[in-house]
Structure 1
């Protein structure tokens, strides 16, 4: 554990999800591969590739730059746009989108949560209120973490995504704890660390790859605390 700034007494914690509370590597990739398999069941889509999906995603973003705040809507609109371009009947599009998203969501929630994470969250939750602030689409209840958190906020559905202020402000208001006493924990230096610091929260960077923060281009500001393992958080209370 390293301290870069002085900290106030911690009265609540907010957590990022992906690559903070569990290993997210290859989870989204697997889910997208399964979407492609689902789409290929249809004759007009039998030759569709993941590259086609990613290219369409960028075109949808170019037409509506603000859509990136909500990854769920962005994915739905990407699939719809791709289906239209592939000549799929508008009567079938909603059903295919629903089937594709159900497939994606099933595989998106197939990560393994370490027992040590469960133990830590149970310990922390017995001392202070905990909440989730995520830019992703993972449902904490579907991965067995719902009992530890007061609530979970998601970019798009609950305001612009991190690092923008709305979602941090909402979390602070719902916790009813001053921002300067809320510690946000995450792996991303821009969305988590910069977002938390700029919005008056305490920031904890979980350095999962053992990198030197002083040599990282994404380091716009220093966090209050740097840790390498979640278990270190218990030492703060």
Structure 2
């Protein structure tokens, strides 16, 4: 654990999810691949590729730049657009969209949460109120983490996504604490570290690739704490 800034008081901790509490590598890629297989079952989409899906997703973003704040809405609208352009019957579109999203959601939650994460959260929860602030679509009750957290906030549903301040401000309100007494833990220098610092939170960067922060282009400010693996947070106990 490395300290870049002094910390006077921590009274609560918020966590990012993906690549912070578990390894998220290839999870989304596999979920999307399974979703494409579902869509390919339909004659009008039998030649649909993942590249086609991503191209349409990019086109949706160009039409509505704010859509990226809610990854669930973005994905649903992308599927609907693909189905519409493929001239699928409007009557079928809702059912096919629901089927594709159900498949994606099932595989999206097929990650392994390490025992070390469970052990750490169990210990931290005895001393601090814990909460989640995520830009993704993982539901903590589906991955066995619900019992540790007082609440989970998601970009889009609960305000603009990190690094925008609304979602951090809402977390502080729900915790009933000043922002400068809340430590946010995450792996992303832009959304987690910069977002937390600019919102008045304390920031802990989990440097999962052991890179030098002084040589990273997306580093805009220093976190209060840097760790390379989550269990290092037991120093806060």
TM-score by length of 1: 0.99
State the distance in 2 between where 1:91 and 1:218 align: 45
Structure 1 unpaired stretches of 5+: none
RMSD: 0.5
Using the alignment, how far apart are the partners of 1:7 and 1:190 within structure 2? 21
1:140-219 correspondence runs (5 A): 140-219=140-219
What's the offset of the Cα at 1:23?
Answer: 0.2
**3-state SS of the aligned residue for 1:141?**
helix
Q: Secondary structure at the match of 2:92?
A: helix
Q: CA deviation at 1:105?
A: 0.2
| TM-score of the aligned structures, taking structure 2 as reference length | 0.99
Deviations 1:18-45 (A, max 9, x none): 0000000000000000011000100011
User: Does structure 2 conserve the Cα–Cα contact (< 8 Å) formed by 1:8 and 1:180?
Assistant: no
Provide the C-alpha distance between the structure 1 equivalents of 2:89 and 2:58, rounded to a whole number of angstroms.
23
Residue aligning to 2:18? 18
Equivalence map 1:29-178=2 (5 Å): 29-178=29-178
The more displaced of 4-13 and 192-201 is 4-13
Deviations 1:130-166 (A, max 9, x none): 0000000000000000000000000000000000010
Aligned length: 237
3-state SS of the aligned residue for 1:111?
A: coil
Q: CA deviation at 1:177?
A: 1.3
Moved over 4 A (4+): none
**What is the alpha-carbon distance in structure 1 between the residues aligned to residue 72 and residue 40 of structure 2?**
21
Moved more, 223-232 or 148-157: 223-232
CA drift at 1:114: 0.4
